[in-house]
Amino acid sequence: MAAKGDSPDPTRIALMTELAQFIDAHADETLPLARLAREAGLSPFHLQRSFKAVIGVTPREYQAAARLRRFKGRLRDGDSVLGATFEAGYGSTSRIYELIDGGLGMTPSAYRASGEGESIVHAVRETGLGLLMMAATPRGVCFVQFGDTREALLAELHREFPKAALAQAGSAADKALRPWMTALAAHLSDAAPRPDLPLDLRGTVFQIRVWRFLLSVKPGDVVSYSEVAAGVGSPRAVRAAASACAANRLAVLVPCHRALRADGGLGGYRWGIDRKRALLAAERRAS
């Protein structure tokens, strides 16, 4: 047996990984620790300790996340809120509304809607870091992304908001978008200050906490993914914090480029490492 503090042995890692897959497949069922222990051939105590050492969370926490993923997947596939509720194993809709502050970040009907009934205006222009699209709802900017072509950017916007009514900027009703785009382009091309624009943030509660934390990081400063996780009150959720950065759909305005690996390496960036490096360099020069 490994000494206390050592990493789990490969056999135990394989067993816990297999058990996690079992939980994924049976997320809608009641899975008491005793049942999982029998499945793994371990005592409940050793199962709990081994699972957390390998997976990073308890079996109960893992099942809660798996159940939420199933629920969200059913909603994305067009299932009703009631149908998705019972398919995910929640038993009652009252349980779902408890998740609004714990995982969804919005009401289930709003999550299922995928922008249905909303009007989103968009504009594209060339910047110092390449072609950029900005899109906004009446609440604020909901999409800022770099791309190779206008067609690819429009396709990505449609993937993010498949049920929204998309319109190119130009009418009096969307007169705010063009100045916002001009201000952001000036920041990218001419070292003007990053514009403080109204944002329409959409994601899980954890993702929104991460994005708001990143908004508090000053230009020219950087933080590690570990510091991001600690800053949102979940110090063990380092990978989840990195994933939230990768899920950010508001390039530059939510400055996920300021998050680095613990060793100071750039890590990943949704729009390319070269852009991340350029953004950091420009902010350091300006500061």
Residue 219: alpha-carbon gap to chain centroid: 22
Q: Which tokens go with 14? A: 């394989």
CA dist list (Å): 179 to 54, 134, 209, 250? 50, 11, 28, 17
pLDDT computed for residue 171 by the predictor: 57
Select which of 197, 256, 259, 280 is catalytic.
Answer: 256
Round to whole Å and give the CA distance between 86 and 218: 44
pLDDT computed for residue 100 by the predictor: 43
Residue 48: alpha-carbon gap to chain centroid: 28
pLDDT computed for residue 3 by the predictor: 39
Round to whole Å and give the CA distance between 285 and 16: 48
Using the 8-state DSSP alphabet, how is residue 218 labeled?
Answer: P
pLDDT computed for residue 91 by the predictor: 63
Q: Which domains does the chain possess?
A: 10-113 (1.10.10.60), 119-190 (3.30.160.70), 205-286 (1.10.10.10)
Residue 191 region by backbone torsions, left for phi larger than 0, else alpha for psi between -120 and 50, else beta: left
| Whether 142 is catalytic | no
∠ CA 116-80-83, rounded to 5°: 160
123 in Cβ contact with 132 (< 8 Å): no
**Residuewise pLDDT in 10s, the chain (287 residues):** 333 444 558 888 899 999 999 998 898 888 999 999 999 999 999 999 999 888 888 898 888 888 877 877 776 666 666 677 777 777 655 555 555 444 554 455 555 555 566 788 999 999 989 999 999 988 889 999 999 999 999 999 998 888 888 988 875 545 678 889 989 988 888 778 888 889 988 887 788 889 999 999 998 899 999 999 999 988 888 888 998 999 999 999 999 999 999 888 888 899 999 999 999 999 888 87
pTM of the model: 0.61
